[in-house]
Structure 1
Amino acid sequence: MSVLIAIPARYASTRYPGKPLATLKGATGEVKSLIQRSYEAATEVKGVDRVVVATDDDRIRQAAEAFGAEVVMTSEDCANGTERCAEAFDNLGGGFDIVVNLQGDAPLTPAWFVEELVEGLRRDPMAEVATPVLRCDGRALNGFLEDRKAGRVGGTTAVFTKDRHALYFSKEVVPFTSETYADDAETPVFHHVGVYAYRPSALGAYPRWNAGPLESLEGLEQLRFMEHGHKVLCVEVEARGRQFWELNNPEDVPRIEAMMAEMGTP
């Protein structure tokens, strides 16, 4: 099955304008833009036939082409990354069995997250979309709770059935737990990792559906599939000692740089 990775990137982020061009310093002191680090993460994934950056902004296009990325221009009307991936897929003429949306704000995404995601979708014919989830340790959960107390969105959590089909995703921490966890303790909370794999039929239908109330309230694009009755598979992945964090707010830059330094990411 042929696989396309599309990295949606827009300049006009409400919370962090110009975010794809924000710079991150690695463990060796090398400074690269967020979009470059996201693109390089995508190229490390095995079994992928093509990687493109999908954007509507010439500044991002120029920056991406400067480091050698293929860019697909999309319209300014895309409401979210899934719509942008759908348009990029159409602009490329289709021809792929699975389309992966590797969001451009997650440069620490390990390659095996995406590889296991694609494999999970291949194994489950009932699922039309798949997304990875990572069980939080106490350190990650406490970080989520700290962000929420400060009024920041630190990440998205997921709950799902025993066969791993999603029940809900939220920017609040779900399920609720009153316990306190040590940094290295296992918790019942799963962090939703911002990567998706779609079958072309589901991806093509997505822009034609209206956003439902849950998507509008949470600002989570994957809820549109669920609100229209389509199954989203949650594929549990292992961190294997790697740290993971999305760049949602300017305050996340030093946090991610500290993680990169600790992991020795150049």
Structure 2
Amino acid sequence: MSVLLAIPARYASTRYPGKPLVSLKGPDGDKTLIRRSWEAAMAVRGVARVVVATDDDRIRDHALAFGAEVVMTSSAAQNGTERCAEVAASLPDFDMVVNLQGDAPLTPAWFVEDLIAGLRAVPDADIATPVLRCDGRALNGFLADRRAGRVGGTTAVFGAGMRGLYFSKEVIPFTSRSYGDAEPTPVFHHVGVYAYRPAALSAYPTWPVGPLEALEGLEQLRFLENGKQVLCVEVQAKGRQFWELNNPSDVRMIEAALAQIG
């Protein structure tokens, strides 16, 4: 099964314009966010082709300069999945498409490798996405964010066979008990990486945004709202931090994590 990995990147972010070109300091010097995300993608084994998907000439020119392949997409794409669908339409000779978002340079390679293996193992799944069991420290952090009115991480609930039931920016499922920092909890953190079968990906842009996707702002809910099977693949952090860069205040946190990786 041949795998295409696409890295969606847009310049016109409402929260952080120009984010893909922000510089991040690491042990290997200063590199942009999009370059670090591309390097993370290139470390994934079992991928036949890696492309940066963007609608912006500045991102295209920069990515080409450091050696990435670029596919230009339209500015009409509403999210990374729609951008990946455009890439898949222009490069149709792949059995699986992976979306490694351009603001996630800390994503461990084994997250993506486990995701690819998970989708391969379940033929009737349309899409797969990683989930990570929260320990008490992570869960308490999510709950503290919600009490303060902040949106923290996304959580996932799934049923038999790890089939996704719902994803939310609220902390679900509800649990009334407290947990020690290192104690496993029943709450799973959703990691924003996706592996799609081409048929489901090509159908995605044809579906209207449903009420749940609109309320939560979570693109993967469109698959659930249209009856598609979303496979949750449990992954292990192995001590790694893997924050996404969403706001300017996240730069320092990402750089600290890069320093730990070394």
Give the alignment's TM-score, normalised by structure 1: 0.94
Label 1:35 to 1:76 Cα distance change in 2 as closer, same or farther (>3 A). same
2:206 match: 208
2:22 match: 22
Corresponding letter in the other structure for 2:233: V
Report the 3-state secondary structure (helix = DSSP H, G, I; strand = E; otherwise coil) of the residue aligned with 1:183: coil
1:78 match: 77
- How far apart, CA to CA, are the structure 2 residues paired with 1:150 and 1:35? 31
Identity between Structure 1 and Structure 2 (%):
73
Corresponding letter in the other structure for 1:33: T
- 1:98 and 1:197 in contact (8 A); partners too: yes
- How far apart, CA to CA, are the structure 2 residues paired with 1:256 and 1:191? 18
Report the 3-state secondary structure (helix = DSSP H, G, I; strand = E; otherwise coil) of the residue aligned with 2:160: coil
Q: Which runs of 4+ in 1 moved over 4 A?
A: none
Q: Pick from 124, 127, 151: which aligns with 1:126?
A: 124
- Offset from partner CA, 1:154-180 (integer Å, 9 cap, x none): 321100003100010011221223333
- How far apart, CA to CA, are the structure 1 residues paired with 2:256 and 2:140? 17
Label 1:19 to 1:150 Cα distance change in 2 as closer, same or farther (>3 A). farther
Deviation at 1:141, TM superposition (A): 2.4
- Offset from partner CA, 1:130-149 (integer Å, 9 cap, x none): 00001112332233233334
Give the alignment's TM-score, normalised by structure 2: 0.95
Deviation at 1:29, TM superposition (A): 6.4
Unaligned runs of 5+ in 1: none
Moved more, 62-71 or 172-181: 172-181
Report the 3-state secondary structure (helix = DSSP H, G, I; strand = E; otherwise coil) of the residue aligned with 1:68: coil
- Offset from partner CA, 1:191-221 (integer Å, 9 cap, x none): 1111100000000100101010000111111
Unaligned runs of 5+ in 2: none
- How far apart, CA to CA, are the structure 2 residues paired with 1:202 and 1:97? 12
Moved more, 9-18 or 208-217: 9-18
Q: Pick from 229, 251, 254: which aligns with 2:252?
A: 254
Q: Pick from 152, 170, 173: which aligns with 1:154?
A: 152
2:215 match: 217
1:5 match: 5
Deviation at 1:183, TM superposition (A): 3.0
2:87 counterpart of 1:91: no
- How far apart, CA to CA, are the structure 1 residues paired with 2:154 and 2:39? 24
- Offset from partner CA, 1:71-93 (integer Å, 9 cap, x none): 1000000011000000011122x
- How far apart, CA to CA, are the structure 2 residues paired with 1:184 and 1:263? 21
1:59 match: 58
Report the 3-state secondary structure (helix = DSSP H, G, I; strand = E; otherwise coil) of the residue aligned with 1:163: helix
Report the 3-state secondary structure (helix = DSSP H, G, I; strand = E; otherwise coil) of the residue aligned with 1:7: strand
- How far apart, CA to CA, are the structure 2 residues paired with 1:67 and 1:146? 40
- How far apart, CA to CA, are the structure 2 residues paired with 1:145 and 1:162? 26
Report the 3-state secondary structure (helix = DSSP H, G, I; strand = E; otherwise coil) of the residue aligned with 2:5: strand
Corresponding letter in the other structure for 2:54: T
- 1:153 and 1:248 in contact (8 A); partners too: no
Label 1:123 to 1:252 Cα distance change in 2 as closer, same or farther (>3 A). same
- 1:154 and 1:248 in contact (8 A); partners too: no
1:103 match: 101
Deviation at 1:257, TM superposition (A): 1.9
- How far apart, CA to CA, are the structure 1 residues paired with 2:245 and 2:138? 14
- 1:155 and 1:246 in contact (8 A); partners too: no
Label 1:258 to 1:136 Cα distance change in 2 as closer, same or farther (>3 A). same
Label 1:247 to 1:64 Cα distance change in 2 as closer, same or farther (>3 A). same
Label 1:146 to 1:239 Cα distance change in 2 as closer, same or farther (>3 A). same
- How far apart, CA to CA, are the structure 1 residues paired with 2:37 and 2:164? 26
Label 1:120 to 1:29 Cα distance change in 2 as closer, same or farther (>3 A). closer
Label 1:248 to 1:60 Cα distance change in 2 as closer, same or farther (>3 A). same
Moved more, 65-74 or 183-192: 183-192
- How far apart, CA to CA, are the structure 2 residues paired with 1:43 and 1:255? 23
